[in-house]
Amino acid sequence: MSIKREIKYIHKISHYLPSFTEVKDGVYRFRCVFCGDSKTKKWKKRGHLYQKSNNFNYKCFNCGHSTSLGKLIEHLDPDLYRKYLLERYKDGDSGRGATKTPDFVFEKPDFKKRNQSTK
């Protein structure tokens, strides 16, 4: 997966995420969009987007909800999710178990002439 594409889409959904801040490279913190964190303390931010290998994952340390970046985008904005999927497929990232087209290399066949014997 392209990290630049993932970060681009994180910034596109940032206006949906209350109190969105970037903690450090590859880690973002905001109020959980699933449980809402604390009703009385608006400063609590327990929803995290973090990078693990080449993927971004979401985890809430209040309700325990965990999902991928794609599913978070789908929850927040279905139209943006379709664009995200289209861009992923265009780049060749078709999800889990994606394989590239195999290179077919065949050797040229070597035909031998038969002796034409009398019948």
Give residue-wise pLDDT tens across range 41-70.
888 888 999 998 888 999 999 888 999 999
| C-alpha triplet 81, 49, 29: angle, nearest 5° | 120
Q: Which CATH architecture has domain 3-90?
A: Alpha-Beta Complex (3.90)
**Strand 27-30's sheet: what is its strand order?**
21-24, 27-30, 47-52, 55-60, 66-68
Q: What whole-number percentage of the chain has pLDDT above 70?
A: 90
Domain ranges of the chain: 3-90
Give residue-wise pLDDT tens across range 70-101.
999 999 999 999 999 998 888 777 655 555 66
Give residue-wise pLDDT tens across range 14-45.
999 988 999 988 899 999 888 888 777 888 88
Q: In sequence order, what DSSP letters do the residues of 47-84 get, joined into one string?
A: EEEEEETTEEEEEETTT--EEEHHHHHHHH-HHHHHHH
pTM, two decimal places: 0.71
Average pLDDT over the chain reads: 85
